[in-house]
Structure 1
């Protein structure tokens, strides 16, 4: 207590000029002064497609979060959605629910349409849940139910993720293991308000970060969201590798297990050389690509690498919402209910054939026997590491 009482006097004795010579700063001096606030509050109006503007209040925290964590299950939005008639995409033309029949402006009293029988294409016959050679090196089609960790599609929930990992464990040999973190810069909370009635009414909330970097993995049993990964898939003729396919695919929607749709799949082409020429004959366009992979596609997207992405957030809302831009990136409109946005800015990279699920489990963890043998892809030298604050040599 004595130290606390004498501290102000000590400061004055050491720095008398600071206390006695304080002067106002002019504009030029202010302009050359820099600082960093812990909290930044942004209040803005965001235009909504076809509807009244929404007021967005965002609280950004000037912080760097370094986390290595495992979550057994995330299940969000377990409530009834009535049947709808807007199944308009995917293999067969009836697998993807975009909620695109109802306008963005519909109010809380109009049904949140989903697909009809079953909602979101979850609960189909088991032969819809098969991997192809374009998504897994399994020597042919393999049931999702037979993969490590299993598969539990659930049509009664908006988002269901299991064995969620943030970061990874690297085996350094000789019984030594290293934790590599998942990093988020400047996390934020954002609230969407409808003020058309003269009352500030909360209609949506989202949680995200201005930048996400590192490994993020999960078994995706069902998703409501916008998932657009950049995918590299190695193609083979029998046992002979002929080249790589490059594509970006929008695998999201409402309560979906993910389907390629020619309207939302960007087939970027094949690798060069003779193998690429063969692939161009086998898979000349998006229609041929979908023909090679007609089954659900979100399950193979288990091992994700976020390369400084601005597009990773969770949201929940009573209506469709166009959220504000973050670091220059403006996301697609989110649908009502719970929503997960990953990708769209080129920062979500999925190598579906390399490591079905990230390994983030030490020996002795119940999931180590399931995933411990997987090889985490990526150049370790380019992966995030703990800041100097946490180094323990």
Structure 2
């Protein structure tokens, strides 16, 4: 839940969901991502032009003058710094920066004592130049040194567009159109309120994670520095709920390697990191044949895929009574989060892998090798 602090005549907001992009996607894609995450606004800060935040203000007025506490604190602390800020009540706010000064995954979040211990373990392999533990009574001293980091907010919902349309359009027909849009929006709000009431009254249950949520957890776990104490990240792969990282010695000793299993006579190290996808999915699957839709999406992107099928049966069950599993394997040359995974019914991501550095420690093509699987009762026509 986003929190706000008043200091120095400015309003500072914290606990947002940050994404770093090589190229920031179009607005409609950002709004779609905001809806998938269940947030109200997309936020940008000119200090970090390639970063985008997704935020729900939770009662904080969406007005001008809001500033990002995490971005301002990162600018104050500088690169390669790990800082825990005690907020009292066994809560800790975290800011961690990389060598480029950008926020690392896990930053700008409030953790309980138990969650903080887990996050420390997650970031234990990052070689920070400085580690800070700021007590609650010293927080105001840091706030007094912050420079403004203004946020530009864009609503995820297009409700504001409906209201402006009613004001801008002229004439009786235009007024009618504006009123119709407004009433349509009211009906949508009523529907959403009913859904929210039903959700709150329903018995709590843990929903199965969608493929997009699984991928988010995988990439967050894989956001490790490529070089650590004389060890280079050669490759990594996510399968199930575990990230497997293959490290190669690049001048360091085995005692400096990340925690893991020895490989290649001490010249390699295999680290395993568990991750937990967020439950639920934020986008309903589309109607139609998901296998054909998914392969068509790859073809439009110029991606060649290998498609296969097999029968999977429960133990003791005849294979003819099993379920047909269709596998699709391909190489994706960009950020895999650009794919709207949750729109494809019955899709599961079986494996995501990436080679970061080749065996000779030279740089490598930073594409992703992906294998997905669809469960289906019958094999669709045309797939062999």
TM-score (norm 1): 0.22
| Greater helix content | 2
| Greater strand content | 1
